Structure 1
């Protein structure tokens, strides 16, 4: 058995009015294949170019190790010069990823290569973030702390993407007081004997290629796996649904602070407790 995943709709281009009517208002994902063909980045941005313009920058790296109570919020697991990191990506598979790094601030030259498309939503101009990964590296299934509308632009290579709306959370073994599902789940090939609730979950899937942009609606769960080495940039817009906006404020001001405090107070016992609760709460929800 495989996950019940519908192909994310694709359009070659789209007007602002059609995007708002058919995807933003109903909160449905879409891949726009040629949304930013005018960007210089479409022709220039690849791993070799990033190595050229940012090779001397020290970059934060993350892998797929389980959360530890000693880890800070979004604390990197290692650091490396960008030139060395890209050499590693080209040479062999690696679990190391760059996550939420504002390279556009670190290398202002890159800001000339893109603009902020008019999709009908106000984009946050101070928060363009880049994400890099090697073949077979992946992110844990998670949703973003700010519950934002996300436009995810992909460059150089292919990336597998699985999405779920918040309505499917009850089946996903969400870890309480966090933004992730249980880290033992392999969403590329889930073990249904161990995670039976996943038989009920309904989601979306696509494969992103160079120059394509994926719209992820507010608070959507997402899992991303690099088929080949590559990188992406996300632009975001604050949630417009009042419920999601309040959820975002709670995540930022309350949930994150509470979780950090409990890690300090109880250590690994707190992490283990949360993981066990992810399983127990999901069992109860599925039995209802």
Structure 2
């Protein structure tokens, strides 16, 4: 059964004042369709171009395997030359993704292809992260550890983005001591008999085309699916809310280290315990029989 999703609002262009007052201050997502059309990247950023300028770089790859106690925090599952990876993307569907990778640090010439948008957010210029994925590859639903406001630009193809506001967390089977939901939930077509809390969740959806930008406010859950092979870049701004800044500091300095320590100490039993608690806590809070 499908999720309860509403299309994210779209605009062609927007002024700095309108974006800040109507979306950043109100913490509302929006898609801006033509923000990149004066960037060199709008015309250049295709997979072939990335292969040309970064083909010899060795890149970290992630797939859709569930979290294991053997994995470190955001530890890559494999590595490959960028040229070979792009050949793989173009030849067939693959679950391998590049996740949160600062390719621009490795290939500084890419900095000349995009513009830091003057859009009312103070962007962190050290962190222009890139993401790549093959046809039908998915990014588990999660929210970002630092609670950033995110400008997410997509290139080459189509990408489906499903968002949930932070106030929808009680319905999403959040895993304790983590930033994710249960990884065995299919957010394309969830089983609402198995995961009944999801029927109460109200989400948002957008299909991003080449050059379009999605604004994701701080703390928003996001699930991504590459409808076709493609890649994206995220520009980030620190959280505006003091409460979210405090949560970010806790996540970065305490939560992730505690979770890694427990994985080393208890192994897979810790992962299994957290997954079980995700169901127990969600159903208990909503008075759903466990």
What is the TM-score of this pair, normalised by structure 2?
0.98
Counterpart of 1:104 in structure 2 is 104
Distance between the aligned counterparts of 1:284 and 1:28, measured in 2? 29
Counterpart of 1:124 in structure 2 is 124
* Unaligned runs of at least 5 residues, structure 1: none
Counterpart of 1:90 in structure 2 is 90
Counterpart of 1:7 in structure 2 is 7
How far residue 104 of structure 1 moved from its aligned partner, in angstroms, is 0.2
> What is the CA deviation profile of residues 27-61 of structure 1, one whole-angstrom value per residue up to 9, with x for unaligned ones?
01000001121110000000000000000110100
Runs of 4+ in structure 1 off by over 2 angstroms are: none
Counterpart of 2:188 in structure 1 is 188
1:245 matched to 2:245? The reply is yes
Counterpart of 2:61 in structure 1 is 61
Query: What is the RMSD computed on CA atoms of the aligned residues?
Result: 0.7
Distance between the aligned counterparts of 1:227 and 1:215, measured in 2? 19
| Secondary structure class of the residue paired with 1:141 | strand
How far residue 287 of structure 1 moved from its aligned partner, in angstroms, is 1.2
Counterpart of 1:31 in structure 2 is 31
What is the TM-score of this pair, normalised by structure 1?
0.99
> What is the CA deviation profile of residues 11-30 of structure 1, one whole-angstrom value per residue up to 9, with x for unaligned ones?
00000100111111110100
Q: How does 1:1-288 map to 2 (within 5 A)?
A: 1-287=1-287
> What is the CA deviation profile of residues 188-215 of structure 1, one whole-angstrom value per residue up to 9, with x for unaligned ones?
0001111000000001001001000000
Query: How many residue pairs end up in the alignment?
Result: 288
> What is the CA deviation profile of residues 157-188 of structure 1, one whole-angstrom value per residue up to 9, with x for unaligned ones?
00011000110000000000000000000100
Distance between the aligned counterparts of 1:243 and 1:37, measured in 2? 36
Distance between the aligned counterparts of 1:219 and 1:21, measured in 2? 19
| Secondary structure class of the residue paired with 1:163 | strand
> What is the CA deviation profile of residues 257-280 of structure 1, one whole-angstrom value per residue up to 9, with x for unaligned ones?
110111111111100000000010
How far residue 286 of structure 1 moved from its aligned partner, in angstroms, is 1.4
